[in-house]
Every structure is written in C-alpha cells, then in structure tokens.
Amino acid sequence: MTTTATAARTPSTAIRWLGLLGWVAVTGLTLQLILRGGLTADAAPVPLLLLIAFVAFIAPDLTFLAGAGQPTRHGYLPTRAVPSYNAMHVIWGPLLLAAVAAVAARWEPVGSVLLVAALSWAAHVLLDRAAGYGLRRPDGGR
C-alpha cells in the first residue's frame, strides 16, 4: 500500500479535532439537558433518560452482531454487518431522529426520550470520526 492511498483514507488533523469538539459539545449538551432539567417539566425521569442515553450511545456498535458467526479477517467487519454498520454511523440518522423529536416535543415524555437518543447517537458518530474511524468498505475493511 502506498503512502498516498493511506493518506487518502486517514482523516486530517482538522477533521479529527472538529469531530472531537463536536463530540464534547453534543455530549455536554446531552448531559446538561438530562441533569440540569433543560428538558420540559414533563420530561421522563432522569434515570430513564440516562439509560436511553447509554443505550443510544452503544447501539451503533451493536450492528457488529449482524455478522456473528461469519468468518472474517482480523480488522475486517463481516460483510453481512457492513450495511447496518454504515447506516448507523452516518450523521443523517441522528439528525433525522432529532427532527422527529422536535415534532414529537408536544407529546412529552416522548420528545425528550427521542431528543436524548438522537444526541447520544450523534455523540457516538462524532467520537468515531474524532478517533479516525470512518465507514466500512463493502469487503468490511476500513
């Protein structure tokens, strides 16, 4: 593999810093909304919102389970899991969920739960980008 090919797939330092700053901002906003009562008075209880935040944060990586039992090389994702992994690791999903949360805001606590889930999912995607993890190729490689 040439240096040029490696450099083309490695995110720039600026992209990594933007991803890291985005992750810090979104995570801070999520915790602020949950712990300081920034959500409406009819929001779900704090323990439920923290549980939703945790589940939504780890959910994108649960897509690895779609490839369970499929043999693969070290460092590669099973090809069966690639479509779901890539779908859960783009920012458009959390943005769409946040839009749905905005529409559902009038039906509390549904809006609060959806907003926390959207922010936590977005934090996961941004942290992955900050760490240099991108989407997978169809063969499961980076």
2 or 73, higher pLDDT: 73
Q: What is the rounded CA–CA span in Å between residue 59 and residue 11?
A: 24
Each domain of the chain, given as residue ranges in start order, spans: 12-130
**Whole-number pLDDT of residue 10:** 62
Cβ neighbour number for residue 52 with a 10 Å cutoff: 20
Instruction: Say whether pLDDT at 87 is over 90.
Output: yes
pLDDT tens string 10-36: 667 777 777 778 778 877 777 777 666
Residues 6+ apart with CB under 8 A from 69: none
**Whole-number pLDDT of residue 60:** 92
- pTM, rounded to two decimals: 0.76
Of the segments 4-18, 76-90, 122-136, which one has the largest average pLDDT value? 76-90
pLDDT tens string 90-131: 989 999 998 998 888 777 788 888 888 998 898 898 888 878
Banded pLDDT at 139 (limits 50, 70, 90): confident
DSSP 135: P
Banded pLDDT at 40 (limits 50, 70, 90): low
Tell me what the pLDDT averaged over the chain comes to: 80
Q: Is the peptide bond before 109 cis (omega within 30 degrees of 0)?
A: yes
Burial bucket for residue 122 (CB in 10 Å: 0-12, 13-18, 19+): buried
To 10 degrees, the CA torsion angle through 13, 14, 15, 19?
100
